[in-house]
């Protein structure tokens, strides 16, 4: 059975010449057994007639937000809940701009805001519009919000220019939707991830912290969900949105993180320690704000528990992946850490005062395991996380298979 069979696909069509391909999309979705509800933006109605799409989809096309007759059939919130996936094809520059800013001034943008279904966007526009700084910023924001962008393709455009901006082929969109509903390689697998920094109290207003943004760990959590896993994310204080379908537990200090992880580690299959956990904490945090009276001040520090090492030492514990930020001798230090903490894999990256690393949106990783290694070149953290998760999945499945024979 096709993974799209009986799925509810809300097909949004925005205003652009590629809107005519909406008819082919509806046909392909229907032949795969999907139920299709078409929603047109006002501009799209200038390119395609609702009647064609209604005939192909077998459902009246919707386009108005507050139209009494349309709303009485299925209200917009009901429609948002009905959808298993929202596909917007073509997604115009204007539509991407509105969605990336959370506008809800017509039916399609309102549905996108009101649904918890995944949103797949297939942009199509003039090549200059695609690379305009405003569109670039909107694209980045949409990816950050967890939406999926497919395309555009390169080629001849309706405006006579040649470049990136054509709607991807309908067949490609079908495959993307099919993978969305296929059980991923980690279906039934539970993944526990730590992310972000920890804060170690010095007094009620001060703490020792570090520069970790949490972005890498959060991206890994999203990638693990994408691979079909059940994901729990234990996070220190960060300003990053929680990826869809991730259970997030907020903690502050290393000891909080330790408690949150140890109570869950035994039941998980894969543990990924992406947090920058403070190795030390002030031994005796002051109950009152420390006054600047003395000419100097000494802070006595106590060792924090090593969460990753403890999880890796659990008998019958999960497949363990650690991260290592190193300023020098990357491989030597990484391999030492791999064996000292008895890890299955270690992802190392070089950090310094400048360049990719802690606070940047891009990074590169060197992966090490016993008897092997792999380089993941510089890429946005979201992409890098997907690549990393693929390697983790492969090695986890191989280890489980070896253990079961
Ligand atoms: O030894 P080091 O701190 O460099 O190791 C880094 C790895 O160990 C990371 O995966 C980090 O999340 C984890 N770690 C931990 N608990 C600590 C220190 C580090 O889980 N107290």
Q: What is the pLDDT of residues 346-392, one digit of tens each?
A: 999 877 655 555 566 778 999 999 999 999 988 888 889 999 999 99
- Mean local confidence (pLDDT), 170-199: 94
- Cβ atoms of 370 and 399 within 8 Å: the answer is no
Q: What is the best residue among 214, 308, 327 to mutate for testing ligand 1's pocket, by most ligand atoms within 8 Å of CB?
A: 308
CA 322 to CA 338: how far, in whole Å? 8
Q: How large a percentage of the chain has pLDDT more than 90? A: 81
Query: Is there an atom of ligand 1 within 6 Å of 323 CB?
Result: yes
Whose C-alpha lies nearest to ligand 1, atom 6? Answer: 324
Whose C-alpha lies nearest to ligand 1, atom 9? Answer: 323
Ligand 1 centroid to Cα of residue 377, in Å, is 23
Buried b (16+ CB within 10 A) or exposed e, 215-226: bbbbbbbbbbbb
Ligand 1 centroid to Cα of residue 324, in Å, is 7
- Mean local confidence (pLDDT), 158-167: 86
Q: What is the best residue among 233, 262, 273 to mutate for testing ligand 1's pocket, by most ligand atoms within 8 Å of CB?
A: 273
- Quick: pLDDT tens for 39-48: 999 999 999 9
Query: Is there an atom of ligand 1 within 6 Å of 275 CB?
Result: yes
- Quick: pLDDT tens for 147-156: 999 999 988 8
Average pLDDT, the chain: 93
Q: HEC states along the chain?
A: CCCCCCCEEEEEECCCHHHHHHHHHHHHHHHCCCEEEEEECCHHHHCCCHHHHHHHHCCCCECCCCCHHHHHHCCHHHHHHHCCEEEEEEECHHHHHHHHCCCCCCHHHHHHHHCCCCEEEEECCCHHHHHCHHHHHHHHHHHHCCCEECCCEEEECCCCCEEEEECCCHHHHHHHHHHHHCCCCCCCCEEEEEECECCEECCCCCEECCCCCCHHHHHHHHHHHHCCCEEEEEECCCCCCCCCCEEEEECCCHHHHHHHHHHHHCCCCEEEECCECCCEEECCCCCCCCCCCCCCCCCCEEECCCHHHHHHCCCCCCEEEEEEEECCCHHHHHHHHHHHCCCCEEEEEECCCCCCCCCCCEEEEEEEECCEEEEEEEEEHHHHHHHHHHHHHHHHHHHHHHHCC
Which of 79-88, 178-187, 270-279, 393-402 has the least mean pLDDT? 178-187
In this predicted structure, what is the pLDDT of residue 381? 84
Residues of the chain with CATH 3.40.50.1950: 8-180
Q: What is the best residue among 257, 306, 365 to mutate for testing ligand 1's pocket, by most ligand atoms within 8 Å of CB?
A: 306
- Quick: pLDDT tens for 186-240: 999 999 999 999 999 999 999 999 999 999 999 999 999 989 999 999 999 999 9
Q: How large a percentage of the chain has pLDDT more than 70? A: 98
Lookup result for tokens 């096709």: 2
Q: Mention the CATH class of domain 8-180.
A: alpha beta
Which of 98-102, 242-246, 354-358 has the least mean pLDDT? 354-358
Higher pLDDT, residue 364 or 74: 364
Whether the predicted pLDDT of 82 surpasses 70: yes
In this predicted structure, what is the pLDDT of residue 29? 98
Ligand 1 centroid to Cα of residue 311, in Å, is 11
Query: Is there an atom of ligand 1 within 6 Å of 347 CB?
Result: no
- Quick: pLDDT tens for 317-333: 999 999 998 888 999 99
Residues of the chain with CATH 3.40.50.10300: 190-286+293-403
- Mean local confidence (pLDDT), 78-104: 97
The active-site residue, picked from 112, 159, 268, 320, is 159
Other Cβ atoms closer than 10 A to 67: 11
In this predicted structure, what is the pLDDT of residue 355? 57
- Mean local confidence (pLDDT), 256-280: 97
Q: Is 320 a catalytic residue?
A: no
Whose C-alpha lies nearest to ligand 1, atom 19? Answer: 277
The architecture (CATH level 2) of 190-286+293-403 comes to 3-Layer(aba) Sandwich (3.40)
In this predicted structure, what is the pLDDT of residue 404? 82
């Amino acid at each position: 059975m096709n993974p799209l069979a009986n799925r509810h696909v809300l097909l949004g069509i925005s205003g652009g010449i590629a809107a005519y391909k909406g008819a082919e999309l509806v046909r392909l979705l229907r032949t795969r057994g999907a139920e299709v509800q078409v929603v047109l933006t006002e501009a799209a109605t200038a390119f395609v007639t609702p009647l064609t799409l209604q005939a192909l989809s077998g459902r009246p096309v919707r386009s108005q937000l507050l139209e009494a007759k349309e709303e009485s059939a299925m209200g917009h919130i009901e429609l948002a809940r009905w959808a298993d996936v929202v596909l917007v094809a073509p997604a115009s520059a204007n539509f991407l701009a509105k969605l990336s800013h959370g506008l809800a001034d017509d039916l399609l943008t309102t549905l996108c805001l009101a649904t918890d279904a995944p949103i797949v966007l297939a942009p199509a526009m003039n090549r200059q519009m695609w690379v305009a700084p405003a569109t670039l910023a909107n694209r980045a924001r949409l990816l950050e919000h967890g939406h999926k962008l497919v395309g555009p393709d390169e080629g001849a455009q309706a405006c006579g220019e040649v470049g990136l901006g054509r709607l991807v082929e309908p067949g490609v969109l079908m495959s993307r939707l099919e993978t969305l509903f296929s059980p991923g390689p980690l279906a039934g697998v539970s993944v526990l991830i730590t992310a972000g920094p920890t804060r170690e109290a010095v007094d009620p207003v001060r703490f020792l912290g570090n520069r970790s943004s949490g972005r890498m760990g959060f991206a890994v959590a999203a990638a693990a969900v994408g691979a079909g896993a059940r994901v729990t994310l234990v996070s220190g204080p960060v300003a990053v949105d929680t990826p869809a379908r991730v259970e997030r537990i907020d903690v502050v200090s290393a000891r909080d993180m330790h408690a949150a992880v140890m109570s869950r580690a035994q039941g998980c299959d894969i543990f990924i320690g992406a947090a920058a956990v403070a190795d030390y904490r002030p031994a005796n945090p002051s109950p009152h704000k420390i006054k600047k009276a003395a000419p100097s001040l000494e802070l006595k520090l106590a060792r924090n528990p090593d969460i990753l090492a403890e999880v890796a030492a659990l008998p019958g514990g999960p497949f363990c992946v650690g991260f290592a930020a190193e300023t020098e001798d990357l491989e030597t230090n990484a391999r030492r850490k791999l064996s000292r903490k008895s890890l299955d894999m270690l992802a190392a990256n070089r950090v310094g005062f400048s360049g990719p690393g802690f606070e940047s949106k891009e990074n590169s990783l060197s992966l090490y395991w016993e008897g092997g290694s792999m380089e993941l070149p510089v890429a946005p953290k979201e992409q890098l996380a997907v690549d990393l998760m693929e390697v983790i999945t492969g090695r986890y499945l191989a280890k489980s298979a070896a253990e079961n024979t």
